[in-house]
Every structure is written in C-alpha cells, then in structure tokens.
Amino acid sequence: MYRDEDDLQLLAEVAGVLDQVVMDAGLSSGSYLLLRSLAREPDGRPMTELAEEFGAGPDEIAAAAKSLSVAGLVDVEGTGVVATAVGRQAVEEIDATGNEAIREYVLERPHSATVYGLMASMQAGRFTVEDLIEFLMEDEDDED
C-alpha cells in the first residue's frame, strides 16, 4: 500500500511514542508484542507457534516468556505460554496509555493534511494502538 513520505514520517514518530509508553511500563517492544498476542488467546499458545508468528527462534521466545513470567505477566506451561490476568490488564493499560499519548503527540504537530486525517480517525476511534501495530506488521510483511 502506498503512503507518502509525510504519512510514513508521522507514523514512525507515532511508533516511537508507543515504544516510550511500552518502555515506561517496563517492557521491551518485543515483549509487549508477545504479551499482546498472548492476551488475546485465553488458552495460550505453543512457543513454536509464537516463534513462527514473530519470525523469531524458539530460544528467543522462551527467553522473552521467561522474562514475562518473572514479572507475573504470563505462565509458562510445558512448551506453551498463557497470559495471566495481570498480563491481560497490563496490555489494556498500555494500550489505553498509548492511545492517549499518541493523541497528545499528534495534537502538538504542525497541522498538515496528514495530521488532520489522523486526528479525525483517532477521534472516531478508527486509529488506535491496534491499527498502528497492524500497519507496522503490514509493512514488515510487504518487505518479505
């Protein structure tokens, strides 16, 4: 999907805002994405499946899962990982904080057509952390 340079620049800046929110919550971007994926799966997922989804090695997923487990955000059960109630709540809080931080950031930008469009989408609930992550994953898939 084609996007002009201004759109791409703004979305890169917005991704940076989300990264800061995630770091402030004590997670790395990768750990957050893993936790976010697990929070949507009530029965958890096998590590091999997660490794495939994220294009990572099983050892990388195991290390991230261990870190999240120590923090009480997931339970590691055999070769699978399940988000805890605390982990699910953390994702909800990070997403809510991220959405607000993105809104504030965009409001402070010079008012271009791109900013106006993004603000209108955000106010209508059509651009959220979920949409940003989907966009970023879409671009990674397009590069393959």
| Structural domain boundaries in the chain | 5-143
Q: Tell me the helices (H) and strands (E) count for the chain, helix number first.
A: 7, 3
pLDDT of residue 1: 45
Return the bridge partners of 83, or none: 74
What is the distance between the alpha carbons of residues 119 and 123, in angstroms, rounded to a whole number?
6
Q: What is the pTM of this model?
A: 0.79
Mean pLDDT of 71-82: 93
pLDDT score for 142: 55
- pLDDT value of residue 143: 53
Longest C-alpha distance within the chain, in Å?
Answer: 52
Q: 5-143: what fold? A: Arc Repressor Mutant, subunit A (1.10.10)
Task: Supply the mean pLDDT for the chain.
Answer: 85
Asked if the model's pLDDT at residue 140 lies above 60, the reply is no
